[in-house]
Amino acid sequence: IEEKNDAELLLLLEEVHPADIAEIITELDLDEATYIIKLLNSEKTAEALMELEEGVRERILDNLSSKEIAEELEEMDTDDAADIIAELSEERQQSVIAEIQDEEHADNIVELLRFDEDSAGGLMAKELVKVNENWSVTGCMAEMRAQAENVTRVHSIYVVDDKNKLKGRLSLKDLITAPSKANISDVYIPKVDYVNVHTPGDEVARIMQKYDLEAIPVVDEMGRLVGRITVDDIIDFIKDEADRDYQMAAGISEDVEADDSILKHTRARLPWLILALLGGFISVTVLGTFEGAMEQYGALFFFVPLIAAMAGNVGVQSSAIVLQGLANNTLRGSLMNRLVKEVGLSLLNGVVLAVMLTLGGTYLLGFDLIYGVTVGISLISVIVIASLIGTFVPIILDKQGIDPAMATGPFITTSNDIFGILIYFSIAKAILGF
Amino acid sequence: IEEKNDAELLLLLEEVHPADIAEIITELDLDEATYIIKLLNSEKTAEALMELEEGVRERILDNLSSKEIAEELEEMDTDDAADIIAELSEERQQSVIAEIQDEEHADNIVELLRFDEDSAGGLMAKELVKVNENWSVTGCMAEMRAQAENVTRVHSIYVVDDKNKLKGRLSLKDLITAPSKANISDVYIPKVDYVNVHTPGDEVARIMQKYDLEAIPVVDEMGRLVGRITVDDIIDFIKDEADRDYQMAAGISEDVEADDSILKHTRARLPWLILALLGGFISVTVLGTFEGAMEQYGALFFFVPLIAAMAGNVGVQSSAIVLQGLANNTLRGSLMNRLVKEVGLSLLNGVVLAVMLTLGGTYLLGFDLIYGVTVGISLISVIVIASLIGTFVPIILDKQGIDPAMATGPFITTSNDIFGILIYFSIAKAILGF
């Protein structure tokens, strides 16, 4: 089928949903994919392009002329078009925008490109249905119908004044049941949730989730209605955020997928590994200072990876809980309460594990009891300190305005390794005396 | 205000959104919260209850009688009511259900309780608007209006046959513009996405995201329409899943929040720490077998935490990428390709890090060059092996039908610690000969 039969292929794909076409395209090689994209009508291709993964889309767009891309963009909502243009190189962006015939559409896209990708301004679309509060109900019906043609799904009708300031919203039901001579100002609902163009995306997501909204209007600094964000964009945002946090916790600093190039993976992973290596240098140095213990108490060194691993695991657990609490805004109560609780929790865990370690080390592995007791006591201290570091480093970073997600993963593990080893040998030195 | 003034408080809270009431309640102590819940009318309380966090809600429900809970449940959609009942103890469930006056509502809730929480059946609500294909357009309008009263938001009208089998959907626009004598069967759209009651929640989320759906109908084994899932429930599901995966990666096996009790935290965290401790016993034993090297090459032991940490970090990075690929269904290509790529990637990273380690170990930390070279070569091997373990353990688990998220965090870190140390000392032994 891939060879020539245009008509048959078109017929075959006519019934297929754009999201499925996107999946088919991903399976094809580049030439075939470009062929299909060019073959289909632009409305369908535009939607299919949107559904593609970034990497695949990039390669296909490279194969299209600026004019061809512009044609696809004209079929898209402004927010999707802006997202796609943002992926192109600077000069490509300009030539594509110049090729867009519909000047208003192009204007809107350029406006959206100015906003930070993760702010309400970057997430919103310009397409929406709005009416003026001074219009009559009848006059407004006709106007609305015209506007609705450009909007894929009408979630809400927004009411503005003469200066385009957001005043409220209108339910379709109220509009239909209102006497036709009434003015919009008599029937609209003056209470409406909205966000500012600069509201961060996660805040928008939180508001929409909290109030179960399907769309939210976006206003500029002067309260003028400039766009709206729909729930499907927010779902994508939440998913991307979760993926990003997950990767950050694993020590991956760029958004990568399994199928990205080796170079992109290296760029995302290597920096954290270098950080861990530098941390490793410190742990080597710390261990080196306790060289004197090697002759008499060499077995102490056998427990080093165990202590370091426990410190790392406890730190990651504590920081994960705190990070989620910060992200979901569920972290309440004073720092003092948290401190007491975290110490209590880690003492409880620490004592259980220390008893296991002491017994296991002495009777299972056959070390002298003094070793077992030493590592046991050290383990308790290490766990308490590690859980405090894991809990408070994110809280402090957050208070300083730094993304606390940075603090998890390699950073917490590495610093807890070092502190863990230092505490362990200090306690061993105090007990055994070397 | 908290003391007595019922009327004033009611007036004050009248305008407040239930989600905000939930936030206020969370800040109050238990008695005050219960007082507010009892004071407000049940429609508002029902919604506020839904918005509360599980822990807070649990404590408030404990303070209410079965009859009072039943009254709240009558105001809720079936899916929300079922979720709340599921949180109660077995006997409490029965007494609450017995108190629900509306028998149909109670029946529906009981039906929903039977499904797995994370399946489409557990996520769906019974409330929906459906019409029979044999009805006339006029007859159907009246029926629809009656049904719509029970449904918070009408997303779609579903069309069924006499046996309640799902046939398609109907757009409100088509219904309004259709000639009033037409039958539904003439105007409905026979193509509709749907899921089965047993479809897993993440699959439902994927379908709704892919096709940007705001609601999806759910059918039973015989194709009969039994419920629908709306996009706001799916957002909650996606968020919960992401939180769960994140916690799993950090070695937390139960869904806990920062404010949960110490005991609940211990139950969620301790099992993984015990696993890590047992892994630590193995690493102690492995190190013990290389005791002979201590006298002559004691400095080798200083590098143990560095090697272990690198192995752990690389393993976590690789497994995070694979897990996300598995979760988002973007993992394509053969296992052989993945193997070649992962080896290439880790060789590249490994060589860079090994050169840094050799140079740093020799010139910065002042060890003999032979140490630097030994740990450098070991590091490359350890990184390659660790990344292969991190990549393929999740893939293999997934093929076996085991949740691959289990494989990250403590599990990967612990096993990579052990393998890392074993490889390191084996290579050192081969090079230095002890």
Question: With an 8 Å Cβ cutoff, are A309 and B409 in contact?
Answer: no
**Residue of B29, B233, B304, B384 best to disrupt the A interface, most CBs of A under 10 A:** B304
Q: How far is B1 from chain A (nearest CA, A)?
A: 22
pLDDT at position A149 is 63
* CA pair distance A229, A216, nearest whole angstrom: 5
A203 or B329: which leads in pLDDT? A203
Residues of B in contact with A276 (CB under 8 A): 309-310, 313
Residue-wise DSSP of B115-180: S-TTBHHHH-BS--EEEETTSBHHHHHHHHHHHHTT-SS---EEEE-TT-BEEEEE-HHHHHHS-T
List pLDDT tens digits, range B35-85. Answer: 877 777 777 788 888 888 777 888 888 888 888 888 888 888 888 888 888
Question: Two tokens at B53?
Answer: 């966090």
Question: With an 8 Å Cβ cutoff, are B322 and A238 in contact?
Answer: no
Residues of A in contact with B422 (CB under 8 A): none
**Residue of A23, A321, A332, A337 best to disrupt the B interface, most CBs of B under 10 A:** A321
From first to last of its 434 residues, chain A has per-residue pLDDT tens of 555 677 777 777 777 888 888 888 777 777 777 887 777 777 778 888 888 877 778 888 888 888 888 888 888 888 888 888 888 888 888 888 888 888 888 888 888 888 888 889 888 988 888 888 888 877 777 777 666 666 656 667 888 888 889 988 887 666 666 676 778 888 888 888 899 999 988 889 888 888 888 889 999 888 899 889 988 888 888 888 888 888 888 888 777 777 778 888 888 889 889 999 999 999 999 999 998 888 888 889 999 999 999 999 999 889 888 888 887 777 777 778 888 888 899 999 999 999 999 999 888 888 888 889 999 999 999 999 999 999 988 888 888 888 887 767 778 888 999 999 999 999 999 998 87
Residue among A283, A288, A321 minimizing CB distance to B258: A321
CATH number of B6-117: 1.25.60.10
pLDDT at position A327 is 79
Residue among B27, B247, B312 minimizing CB distance to A320: B247
Residue among B232, B304, B348 minimizing CB distance to A304: B304
Residues of B in contact with A239 (CB under 8 A): 209, 238, 242
List pLDDT tens digits, range A240-273. Answer: 888 888 888 888 877 777 777 888 888 888 988 9
Confidence of residue B426 (pLDDT cuts 50, 70, 90): very high
* CA pair distance A414, A276, nearest whole angstrom: 6
Single-letter code of the amino acid located at B25: I
Sequence-distant (6+) residues with CB within 8 A of B72 are B42, B45, B46, B49, B64
Asked if CATH classification 3.40.50.1370 holds for the domain at A6-118, the reply, yes or no, is no
List pLDDT tens digits, range B232-285. Answer: 888 888 888 888 888 888 888 777 777 778 888 888 889 889 999 999 999 999
> Looking at the domain covering A129-231, what would its CATH class be?
alpha beta
Query: Which sequence spans correspond to the domains of chain A?
Result: 6-118, 129-231, 262-432
* CA pair distance B252, B238, nearest whole angstrom: 18
| Phi, psi values for residue B213, rounded to 5° | -85, 150
Which stretch of DSSP H or E encloses residue B72?
A: helix B66-75
Question: Two tokens at B192?
Answer: 């509709």
Average pLDDT over chain A, rounded to an integer: 84
Single-letter code of the amino acid located at A281: F
Q: How far is B223 from chain A (nearest CA, A)?
A: 22
> Looking at the domain covering B262-432, what would its CATH class be?
mainly alpha
A6-118 and A129-231 in the same fold: no
Confidence of residue B325 (pLDDT cuts 50, 70, 90): confident
Question: With an 8 Å Cβ cutoff, are B356 and A312 in contact?
Answer: no
Question: With an 8 Å Cβ cutoff, are B305 and A273 in contact?
Answer: no
Q: How far is A153 from chain B (nearest CA, A)?
A: 10
Provide, rounded to the nearest whole percent, the portion of chain B with pLDDT above 70: 93
CATH number of B129-246: 3.10.580.10
Q: How many residues does chain B have?
A: 434
* CA pair distance B122, A389, nearest whole angstrom: 39
Q: How far is A317 from chain B (nearest CA, A)?
A: 5
Residue among B262, B338, B353 minimizing CB distance to A344: B262
Residue among A238, A291, A314 minimizing CB distance to B235: A238
Q: How far is A102 from chain B (nearest CA, A)?
A: 26
The chain A residue lying nearest B415, using CA atoms, is A309
Q: Name the residue among A16, A81, A412 with its Cα closest to residue A249.
A: A412
Residue-wise DSSP of A198-228: TSBHHHHHHHHHHTT-SEEEEE-TTSBEEEE
Burial class, A141, CB count within 10 angstroms (exposed 0-12 / middle 13-18 / buried 19+): middle
Residue-wise DSSP of B208-270: HHHTT-SEEEEE-TTSBEEEEEEHHHHHHHHHHHHHHHHHHHTT--S---TTS-HHHHHHHHH
**Residue of A239, A272, A387 best to disrupt the B interface, most CBs of B under 10 A:** A239
Question: b/e for B76-99, b at 16 or more Cβ within 10 A?
Answer: bbbbbbbbbbeebeeeebeebbeb
Q: How far is A368 from chain B (nearest CA, A)?
A: 14
pLDDT at position B209 is 83
pLDDT at position B31 is 78
* CA pair distance B184, B190, nearest whole angstrom: 11
* CA pair distance A37, A48, nearest whole angstrom: 9
Distance spanning both ends of chain B, measured CA to CA:
79
By DSSP bridging, strand B215-219 and strand A215-219 are unpaired
Residues of A in contact with B299 (CB under 8 A): 288
Residues of A in contact with B301 (CB under 8 A): 287, 294, 301, 304
Q: With H, G, I as helix, E, B as strand and everything else as coil, classify residue A276.
A: helix
List pLDDT tens digits, range B136-146. Answer: 877 777 776 66
The answer to whether the Cα torsion of A341, A346, A351, A352 is positive or negative is positive
Question: With an 8 Å Cβ cutoff, are A246 and B245 in contact?
Answer: yes
Residues of A in contact with B314 (CB under 8 A): 269, 273
List pLDDT tens digits, range B341-388. Answer: 888 999 999 999 999 999 998 888 888 888 899 999 999 999 999 999
pLDDT at position B388 is 92
